[in-house]
Amino acid sequence: MTISEAPSNVALIKYMGKLDGNVPRNVSLSYTLDKFRTTVYLENCSNEDRFVNDIGLDQKSVDRFLRHLQNIKKLYDYNGYFSVRSLNNFPHSAGVASSSSSFAALTKCAITAICKMKAAAIPSPEEMSVISRTASGASCRSFFAPWSVWDRDGARKIDIKIKELNHDLILVDIRPKKVSSSKAHKLVETSPLFADRPSRAEKRFVDLVNALNCDRWNDACQICWEEFADMHGLFETSSPSFGYISSKTKVVLNAIKNFRRLNGDSPITTIDAGPNVHLLWRKDQEEARSELKKEILSLDKDFIVI
């Protein structure tokens, strides 16, 4: 048996819209979420590849997973078969980048297993990230920590002064989202706001890296807020329009804005393609972190912080 793990990641500068081969239209910057991980188990078997579906994935997701495995086998000229099992320690399809960690883990696991059987050298993270990207674009960022940049040249680690942040995920809804990320990438191209989107993202990328490296935390918070609002604005102005931010999401966002107004400090806040809210905190913000979490949990009995 071969076992591999990969973390999820959260993009602070989002990529939205892609070219052939899952090449992003704009640069993105992500922070690796080491506590949210996917573990993939591979065992040799006879006759055909099969997925042990004990996590309730729909058939479309299972087929996509197995298709990527078969593409890796073809790439490495391997004719055997595998039984695959994949487990997340966090909800899938809820805007927590489960495809990023799952496809990164599958790519690592399959390549490692085949290379060991062939007594071949295991490729570098950079090489594996290119292969993983063909199945799930953002999965290429999960090969690098703590910060990763991804542009048309590929994904790679980027050096940023702040090395370690605390992370909270506010779960307001863990149901699978109705519009997949892949579909969203296509729909946003119909938005009148899309044409200038790459230039806006590029500028925010430069501004955010500078803010993080120059200890301008409040500036970084503002840039990230504007960035996720920009992305969700694309969703709401596409044709047909759609959205992920729910009334409960807005309750959380209002609580964060009020907290920042009263305290002059706040976490970096972002939302991916889903309703749930990511918070990133400096290490010296533990007291504020505890206070805000307590306040958010008091707003709705169904809110969960993980």
pLDDT truncated to tens, each residue of the chain (306 aa)?
A: 999 999 999 999 999 988 888 899 999 999 999 999 999 999 999 999 999 987 777 888 899 999 999 999 999 999 999 999 999 887 665 556 678 999 999 999 999 999 999 999 999 999 999 999 999 999 999 999 999 999 999 999 999 999 999 999 999 988 878 888 889 999 999 999 999 999 999 999 999 999 999 999 999 999 999 999 999 999 999 999 999 999 999 999 999 999 999 999 999 999 998 899 999 999 999 999 999 999 999 999 999 998
Q: Which CATH number fits domain 2-157: 3.30.230.10, 3.40.50.300, 3.40.50.1220, 2.102.10.10?
A: 3.30.230.10
**Dihedral through CA 187, CA 190, CA 195, CA 198, nearest 10?**
0
User: Cα(140)–Cα(90) distance, rounded to whole angstroms?
Assistant: 19
Q: Domain coordinates of the chain in residue numbers?
A: 2-157, 166-305
In angstroms, the CA 247 to CA 228 distance is 16
Cβ–Cβ under 8 Å, residues 150 and 249? no
For the four alpha carbons of 225, 271, 250 and 195, in that order, the dihedral sign comes to positive
Q: At what angle do helices 197-213 and 217-236 cross, to 10 degrees?
A: 160
Contact 71, 134 (CB under 8 A): yes
Domain 166-305 - what CATH class?
Answer: alpha beta
Greatest CA separation for the chain: 63
Cα separation of 209 and 222, whole Å? Answer: 13
Q: 119: which DSSP letter?
A: T
- Going by C-alpha positions, the residue among 50, 71, 64, 74 that lies closest to residue 182 is 64
CA-to-CA distance for 49 and 69, rounded, in angstroms?
Answer: 8
- Residue 47 belongs to what H/E stretch? none
CA distance 47 to 233: 48
Rounded CA-CA distance 46/64 in Å is: 20
Q: Which helix (H) or strand (E) holds 12?
A: strand 2-13
